[in-house]
């Protein structure tokens, strides 16, 4: 006996074949299928008499087939089905291309309903490839607001509509997870009515009301998940790290630059959070080059000065190494032991055992000790991985910088009080949820406490997305650039201007500058072709365009130490131009590079282009970004935002509008439901969902009072990965 929870493979006309295809969309049961909602509608509801049809009109006619024939064109061998349909007012043609089965069904004398767009040729007006069904049937694909569903290979909206119509009787068995009083206060329909309005709307108003209800439901779930994480996080205990004002001021005064007001504000928020007995959970959201590292260093200094350890995680070894070098420079006047620990590198910048400057670090790769010539051998500094882990466990290392290798089981800390995660969005969906969980589970050496948690991202997040997806985090924003930075001149370059741009680059390099040339990253499965394209382009540029200059090549198939060598050589001016795939997006800071050329710029999102652009303009020199793009009007109009805006937050807003939140956030893979995504710019909806989630959790923090909601939340959490 079938019910709403029955597996689709047990449903006649679906079976194992279609159940497997539906499974790709996460649809496994009848309930899942009924909750697969349309994303738009074709309005075929207006029935018109044939005499009133005109070109470009979308309409429905009902009549009788008076003539039907199958024609094979002589030149292209295309099969054309042509039917003549008659009503009381006239006759109209309907034409289908390469659908010979239509002529078998639409035989003379059959009553038919046809919906579609009217076209015109030398014979007059006609329906081109219209939807059709026999007029004796209940309207499903014609004569109504016809729902269009998200599809996948082997699945059409037409097939989905037939199945939904047959299975809709099970809708009454689906229990509504949203408490009745909330629906009543917000004037939203219950779940059965909403499903009726979504799949079989009589008016667009009904369809919109259904969309509104399900958008609220999904945003409400999102807020409940987010706020539940916050509630559980706030129940944890952390060590209280006092804010030492003199220490902080002395550090800031030692810097060779002035902090922006945004940096001061963010640092103050973080330092005050760390004074509290519950763990900080804050997102530092800053534009490229806005100075997140300095803010993180100030937080680290405060924790270390109070006798605790700090761990800083980056998504790549290259970025981890860059942090190691930058932070060693920032702390050159402080007696702090800083270690770099990744799969390839084990280094220590050790002030306790000997006096070293940051270049004079011990470099241990693959467990083989290599000692810099500037350093006299000292037995206490000969570190294997085991020795370094022991020093971390004993608390001799104050600041540990690395990749996610830092949360491996064999790493134990003495008193870890602060975890900083940089570029968290780059860690991948599965690791995002894992990292924060691991911050709770990490062997920090402090009983009954968990570390304070600071996340940093260089992808500016628009306000609506921050509201929707980061409800469990406190937010600090760096929306100011350092005062000495000049605005990067950005220009879209067409084919005719390439040579003059190359000449401009040559002149800049003659003046002692350096340049990046970036190529689009392709799909994982095409990495070999990416390598081939980058290699060929490197060769073309070296031989034909810049034969007088030194060009390096960087791509994703190089090993970490090879990538680092290329980057280090570029930084040390051994090369004039770095030709690279998009692996250069984060992790390289070359102050002398003033030119960024991006090939096929129209293949990137605006936010990613802004990340690339942020690789230059990192000093007080005038920098340039050239966007080589196809000449299509659409791509150029999109790229003009790069010419117009220099702020990453403005760029992010534009990117969100143009690409939609799914592509912007990479949430195609994160399980965020489509309906929630479509309404992500609705600030009022998000605020209402936030408010009701807050009220609901106050009434029942564990949701035991709302068992249906608790059950749905549990399912929702399995599918959705929050940052």
Q: Domain for residue 301, yes or no?
A: yes
**Looking at the structure, do residues 330 and 424 belong to the same domain, yes or no?**
yes
Residue 480 is assigned to a structural domain of this protein:
no
By the 10 Å C-beta count (0-12 exposed, 13-18 middle, 19+ buried), 9 is classed as middle
Position 154 pLDDT exceeds 60: yes
* pLDDT tier for residue 666 given thresholds of 50, 70 and 90: low
- Is the per-residue pLDDT at 673 higher than 90? no
Provide, rounded to the nearest whole percent, the portion of the chain with pLDDT above 90: 45
Indicate if the pLDDT at residue 663 is higher than 70: no
Q: Which of 268, 270, 279 is nearest to 240 (CA)?
A: 279
- Do the domain assignments include residue 214? no
Final residue before a domain boundary, out of 596, 628, 646: 646
Contact criterion met (CB below 8 Å) for 596 and 613: yes
Residue 589 CA to residue 616 CA, distance in Å, equals 8
Q: 33 and 50, same structural domain?
A: no
Query: What is the CATH number for 438?
Result: 3.40.50.300
Q: What per-residue confidence (pLDDT) applies to 586? A: 52
Q: Are residues 335 and 269 in the same domain?
A: yes
559: which 2 tokens?
């090993």
Please tell me the least confidently modeled range out of 92-101, 388-397, 714-723. Answer: 714-723
Where is average pLDDT lowest: 185-199, 247-261, 374-388, 441-455?
374-388
Q: pLDDT-based confidence at 275, cuts 50/70/90?
A: very high
pLDDT band at 677 (very low <50, low <70, confident <90, very high): low
State yes or no: pLDDT of 587 exceeds 80: no
> 625 and 578 in one domain?
yes
Answer whether 179's CB lies under 8 Å from 706's CB.
yes
Domain that holds residue 502: 489-646
Please state the rounded mean pLDDT for residues 203-228. 90
Q: Is the pLDDT of residue 627 over 90?
A: yes
Average pLDDT on 405-423 reads 84
Residue carrying structure tokens 């990067």: 488
pLDDT confidence of residue 300: 97
- Stated length of the chain: 723
* CA atoms within 13 Å, Cβ hemisphere of 188: 24
How far from chain centre, in Å, is Cα 19?
29
Which segment of 384-388, 528-532, 631-635 scores lowest on mean pLDDT?
528-532
Task: With a cut of 50, say whether residue 427 has pLDDT above it.
Answer: no
Looking at residue 102, which CATH number applies to its domain? 2.40.50.140
pLDDT winner (highest mean) among 173-187, 322-336, 339-353, 384-398: 173-187
Mean predicted lDDT score pLDDT of the chain? 83
Same domain for 90 and 18?
A: no
Both 444 and 559 in one domain: the answer is no
The verdict on 601 and 615 lying in the same domain is: yes
Is the domain of 8 the same as that of 99? no
Residue 194 has what pLDDT?
96
DSSP character at residue 424: G
CA R_g for the chain:
31
Digit-coded pLDDT (tens) for 65-95: 999 988 887 776 788 899 999 999 999 999 9
594 or 523, which is more confident:
594
Question: What are 276's two structure tokens?
Answer: 């509290």
Question: Is 239 contained in some domain?
Answer: no
Residue 121 belongs to some domain of the structure: yes
**What pLDDT, on a 0 to 100 scale, did the predictor assign at position 527?**
54
Query: Which residues are within 8 A (CB) of 447 and not within 5 positions of it... i.e. 6 or more apart?
Result: none
DSSP code for 134: E
Task: Read off the pLDDT band of 626 (50, 70, 90).
Answer: very high
Does the pLDDT of residue 61 top 60, yes or no? Answer: yes
pLDDT of residue 288: 79
- What's the rounded mean pLDDT across residues 297-310? 96
Residue in this structure with the two tokens 């068995």, named with its chain if needed: 173
Angle at 195 between CA 140 and CA 469, to 5 degrees: 125
Q: Model-level pTM? A: 0.73
**Burial call 366-383: b when 16+ CB within 10 Å, e when fewer:** eeeeebeeeeeeeeebeb
User: What confidence tens digit (pLDDT) does each residue in 525-562 have?
Assistant: 455 555 667 788 889 999 999 999 999 998 877 887 78
Per the CB < 8 A criterion, the answer to whether 444 and 311 are in contact is no
CB atoms within 10 A of CB 525: 7
In whole angstroms, what is the distance from residue 27 CA to residue 417 CA? 43
pLDDT at 439 (0 to 100): 59
Domain boundary among 457, 473, 498: 457
Q: Contact, 677 vs 660, CB < 8 A?
A: yes
Is 452 a domain residue?
yes
Mean pLDDT of 605-628: 88
Residue with tokens 């408010």: 691
Domain presence at residue 295: yes
Q: What pLDDT sits at residue 588?
A: 65
Strands 58-72 and 79-87 turn out to be: antiparallel
- 584 and 632 within one domain: yes
- Indicate the SS3 state at residue 384: coil
Domain count, the chain: 4
* 131 and 167 co-located in one domain: no
Specify whether 326 is located in the same domain as 418.
yes
pLDDT at 454: 92
Same domain, 122 and 16: no
Q: Which residue has the higher pLDDT, 717 or 37?
A: 37
Is 302 a domain residue? yes
Pairing of strands 452-457, 514-518: unpaired
Q: Which of 605, 622, 646 is the last residue of a domain?
A: 646
Mean pLDDT of the region 381-406:
83
Instruction: Give me the pLDDT at residue 522, please.
Output: 47
């Amino acid at each position: 006996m079938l019910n709403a929870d029955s597996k689709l493979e047990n449903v006649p006309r679906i079976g194992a074949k279609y159940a497997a295809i539906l499974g790709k969309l996460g649809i496994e049961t009848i309930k899942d299928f009924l909750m697969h909602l349309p994303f738009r509608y074709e309005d075929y509801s207006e029935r018109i008499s044939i005499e009133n049809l005109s070109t470009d009109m979308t309409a429905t006619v009902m009549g009788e087939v008076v003539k039907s024939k199958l024609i094979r064109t002589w030149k292209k061998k295309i099969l054309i089905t042509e039917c003549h349909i008659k009503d009381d007012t006239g006759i109209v043609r309907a034409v289908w291309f390469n659908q010979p089965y239509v002529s078998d069904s639409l035989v003379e004398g059959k009553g038919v309903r046809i919906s579609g767009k009217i076209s015109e040729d030398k014979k007059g007006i006609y329906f081109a490839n219209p939807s059709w069904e026999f007029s004796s049937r209940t309207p499903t694909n014609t004569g109504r607001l016809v729902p269009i569903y998200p599809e996948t290979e082997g699945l059409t909206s037409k097939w989905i509509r037939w199945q939904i119509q047959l299975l809709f009787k099970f809708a009454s068995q689906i229990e509504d997870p949203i408490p009745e009083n909330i629906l009543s206060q917000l004037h939203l329909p219950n779940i059965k009515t909403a499903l009726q309005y979504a799949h079989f709307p009589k008016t667009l108003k009904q369809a919109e009301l259904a969309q509104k209800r399900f958008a609220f439901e999904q945003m409400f779930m999102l807020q409940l998940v987010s706020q539940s994480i916050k509630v559980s996080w706030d129940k944890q205990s952390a060590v209280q790290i006092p804010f030492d004002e003199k220490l902080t001021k002395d550090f800031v005064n030692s810097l060779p630059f002035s902090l922006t007001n945004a940096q001061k504000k963010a640092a103050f928020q973080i330092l005050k959070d760390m004074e509290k007995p519950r763990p900080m959970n804050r997102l530092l959201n800053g534009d490229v080059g806005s100075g997140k590292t300095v803010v993180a260093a100030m937080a680290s200094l405060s924790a270390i000065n109070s006798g605790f350890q700090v761990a800083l995680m980056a998504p790549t070894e290259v970025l981890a190494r860059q942090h190691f070098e930058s932070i060693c420079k920032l702390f050159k006047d402080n007696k702090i032991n800083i270690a770099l620990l990744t799969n390839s590198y084990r280094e220590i910048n050790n002030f306790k055992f000997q006096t070293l400057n940051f270049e004079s670090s011990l470099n241990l790769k693959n467990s083989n000790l290599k000692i810099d010539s500037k350093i006299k051998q000292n037995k206490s500094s000969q570190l294997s991985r085991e020795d370094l882990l022991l020093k971390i466990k004993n608390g001799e290392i104050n600041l540990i910088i690395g990749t996610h290798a830092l949360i491996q089981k064999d790493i134990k800390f003495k008193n870890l009080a602060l975890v900083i995660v940089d570029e968290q969005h780059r860690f991948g969906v599965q690791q995002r949820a894992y990292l924060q969980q691991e911050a709770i589970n990490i062997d920090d050496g402090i009983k009954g406490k968990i570390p304070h948690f600071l996340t940093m991202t260089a992808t500016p997040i628009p306000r609506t997305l921050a509201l929707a997806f980061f409800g469990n985090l406190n937010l600090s924003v760096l929306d100011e650039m350092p005062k000495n930075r000049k605005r990067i001149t950005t220009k879209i370059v067409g084919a005719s201007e390439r040579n003059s741009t190359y000449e401009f680059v040559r002149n800049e390099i003659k003046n002692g500058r350096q340049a990046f040339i970036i190529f689009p990253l392709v799909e994982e499965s095409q990495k070999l072709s990416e390598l081939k394209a980058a290699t060929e382009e490197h060769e073309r540029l070296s031989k034909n365009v810049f034969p007088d200059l030194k060009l390096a090549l960087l791509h994703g198939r190089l090993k970490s130490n090879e990538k680092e060598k290329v980057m280090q050589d570029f930084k040390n001016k051994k090369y004039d131009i770095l030709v690279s795939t998009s692996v250069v997006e984060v992790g390289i800071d070359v102050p002398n590079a003033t030119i960024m050329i991006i090939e096929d710029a129209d293949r990137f999102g605006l936010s990613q282009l802004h990340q690339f652009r942020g690789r230059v303009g990192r000093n007080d020199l005038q920098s340039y970004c050239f966007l080589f793009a196809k000449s299509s009007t659409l791509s150029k109009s999109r790229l003009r935002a790069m010419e117009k805006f220099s702020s990453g937050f403005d760029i992010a807003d534009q990117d969100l509008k143009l690409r939609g939140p799914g592509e912007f956030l990479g949430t195609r893979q994160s399980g965020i439901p489509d309906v929630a995504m479509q309404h992500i710019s609705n600030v009022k909806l998000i605020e209402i969902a936030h408010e009701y989630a807050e009220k609901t959790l106050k009434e029942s923090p564990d949701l035991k009072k709302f068992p249906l909601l608790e059950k749905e939340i549990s399912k929702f959490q399995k599918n959705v990965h929050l940052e």
